[in-house]
Amino acid sequence: MKKVLYPGTFDPVTNGHIDIIQRALELFDEVVVTVAINPGKSPLFSIDERVLMLKESLKDYKNISVDSFDGLVVDHAHQVGAVGIIRGLRAVSDFEYEFQMALMNRKLAGDLTTVFLMPHEKYTYLNSSIVRNLAGLSSDVSDFVPPVVIEALKNKFGRS
Ligand code: ADP
C-alpha cells in the first residue's frame, strides 16, 4: 500500500493540479493532497476554502484524501505514512526551485523520494496566480478550473 503526498498552495486548485493527481493515482495506491499553510504568502482563499474546493473537485476519485498542514512537508509526509512527495513540472522555469526543494527534502528525510510529473501540454502555461488575475478582471476561467472554483471565484470577486 504506497501512499504519496502532493503538497501545494492550491490557491485555487486548477485543472493542471488535477491532471497531476490523476497521473499520481496511476503510480500510487493513495494520494494525500495537502494544502500548505504558508505564512509567507497572502492567499486569496482561506485554508478551509482551499481544502473544500479540492474535496469537491476530487469527490469522484477513489483513493484520495485532502488535508492541510503547517510546518515541514517531510514531517507531514511521515505523519501520513507517505513514501514520497509528488510535484508538478511545467517548464524549465519550475526546475531550479523544485530541484532545490527536492534535494533539501532528501537531506532532511532520506527515506522520502520526490517524484516529478509533467501535466498534459495544455496545462503547461497554467498556474493559480494567472487564474486569480483573470477572474479578478472578469475573464472566463472555465477552461482552467473545476466548476466549484468558478463559483468560488465569482463569490470572491462579488459577481453572481
Ligand atoms: P506551490 O506554492 O507549492 O508551488 P502550487 O499550488 O502553485 O503550490 O503548486 C503545487 C504543485 O503543483 C507544484 O509542484 C507546481 O509546480 C504544480 N503545478 C501547479 N500548476 C500546475 C500545472 N498547471 N501543471 C502541472 N503542475 C502544476
d(CA 86, CA 4): 7
Residue count of the chain: 160
Is the CB–ligand 1 distance for residue 10 below 6 Å? yes
125 three-state secondary structure: coil
Q: Is the pLDDT of residue 160 over 80?
A: no
Residue-wise pLDDT for 7-22, tens only, equals 999 999 999 999 999 9
Residue-wise pLDDT for 111-151, tens only, equals 999 999 999 999 999 999 999 999 999 999 999 999 999 99
Residue bearing cell 471565484: 153
What structural domains and CATH numbers belong to the chain? 3-156 (3.40.50.620)
CA distance to 37, 79, 84, 88, per residue, from 104 (Å):
19, 18, 14, 17
Is the CB–ligand 1 distance for residue 128 below 6 Å? yes
Is the CB–ligand 1 distance for residue 43 below 6 Å? no
Residue-wise pLDDT for 38-54, tens only, equals 877 789 999 999 999 99
> Which among 6, 12, 3, 38 has a CA at the least distance from the CA of 127?
12
Q: Which member of 23, 50, 87, 90 is catalytic?
A: 90
Cα 49 to ligand 1 centre (Å) = 18
Report the chain's mean pLDDT, rounded to a whole number. Answer: 95
Cα 14 to ligand 1 centre (Å) = 9
